[in-house]
Amino acid sequence: MDHAADAHRTDLMTITRHVLNEQSRNPESRGDFTILLSHIVLGCKFVASAVNKAGLAKLIGLAGETNGEEQKKLDVLSNEVFVKALVSSGRTCVLVSEEDEEATFVDPALRGKYCVCFDPLDGSSNIDCGVSIGTIFGIYMIKDKDNVTLEEVLQPGKNMLAAGYCMYGSSCTLVLSTGSGVNGFTLDPSLGEFILTHPDIKIPKKGKIYSVNEGNAKNWDAPTAKFVEKCKYPKDGSSPKSLRYIGSMVADVHRTLLYGGVFLYPADKKSPNGKLRVLYEVFPMSFLMEQAGGQSFTGKERALDLVPTKIHERSPIFLGSYDDVEEIKALYAEQTKSGSA
Ligand code: AFP
């Protein structure tokens, strides 16, 4: 192998190059989306760097942060990073963040046509033990940026233009869909660039893994309980599925996307709407799943058909390999039929 040549791989597909290529296919594009995305990428790099330092900072303190001042919590810091990055892009008019109770309407002088819904640091209860965490985002277009209302933010997920997540783990991986497939990019820390490492991700049609918090089993509804029972004790001669559950949606969904299987956060008696939030967890992940050839279902309907009524609304969710989600849909259909019979 020619190592000298390998050290100068300036022909690598960076995320910027990839998005510019996509933009050049649309002659009407003015580059606004590319600019917005470059600001999101910058936010991800900032958070990746803060997450990497977090363990050390907590144990020994870092230079400049030792004057008795309490360290800012990482999720609060990540929110500030993304709000600033998005507003300064000049391409957003309204932002919905998991960290902020109210939507942020951008100053009219800085407004652009996009709405971004995001969870700046999902899975933050995993920070202190070094488990993977991530940022999730979904992007919509707003018709009239100067007269945008909260109602316009409450669109069904199928109207999304793009969605993605960035996982801060053993490596930093950004997975993105702009509506024509799903691509994964890994941060090369020596270059500070995300490089295309997982082109055109397709989820296996059927998987061997199920992923759920089984501690909630006593409160599940019948279709969820039946599905998990089938995973463990299949009656069709197939092997039982393996259980994998990290408790950090980005990491659980990332594994599901690459290896196949199903991730579920169902409704239960204590939480009839499940736990996960529609605008910045359920919708972006459902968009990515569908773009990768999988499915996403709420227990009642296709997840992307849901029309939220509140910005922090929750919904049950079952997403992953096409055939596995099909089985879950059949169990819910059976229940509806027997209930109405
Ligand atoms: P935290 O941000 O509080 O850690 O919650 C993470 C999360 O929203 C999502 O990333 C996980 O899939 C889910 O909650 C895990 O919830 P349980 O702890 O109830 O299993």
pTM: predicted TM-score of the whole model, two decimal places: 0.93
* Blockwise average pLDDT, block size 10, the chain, 341 residues: 58 90 80 94 95 70 47 85 97 97 96 97 87 96 92 95 95 96 96 96 98 97 97 94 98 98 96 97 98 98 98 98 98 87 47
Provide the pLDDT for residue 217: 97
Closest CA to 71 of 80, 63, 85, 61: 61
The pair of three-digit structure tokens given for residue 157, joined into one six-digit string: 């997920």
DSSP assigned state of 280: I
Residue 44 Cα distances to 25, 81, 211, 317, angstroms? 26, 9, 26, 26
Longest Cα pair distance anywhere in the chain, in angstroms?
72
Question: Ligand 1 pocket, 214 CB below 6 A?
Answer: no
**Atom 7 of ligand 1, residue of closest alpha carbon:** 123
pLDDT at position 59: 55
The three-state secondary structure class of 186 is strand
The answer to whether 207 touches 241, Cβ cutoff 8 Å, is yes
Q: What is the pLDDT of residue 67?
A: 40
Identify the structural domains of the chain with CATH numbers, from first to last.
3-198 (3.30.540.10), 209-339 (3.40.190.80)
Residue 191 φ/ψ, nearest 5 degrees: -100, -20
CA gyration radius, the chain: 21
Q: Under DSSP, is residue 48 helix (H, G, I), strand (E, B) or coil?
A: helix
The answer to whether residues 54 and 128 touch, using CB atoms and an 8 Å cutoff, is no
* Ligand 1 atom having least distance to the Cα of 245: 20
Nearest CA to ligand 1 atom 6: 123
- Residue 36, classed as helix, strand or coil, is helix
| 17/134 Cα distance (integer angstroms) | 23
Q: What is the pLDDT of residue 7?
A: 60
DSSP 89: T
- Gap from CA of 119 to ligand 1 centroid (Å): 12
Task: Please indicate whether residue 213, judged by its CB atom, sits closer than 6 Å to ligand 1.
Answer: yes
Say if CB 260 and CB 209 are below 8 A apart: yes
What's residue 163's pLDDT?
98
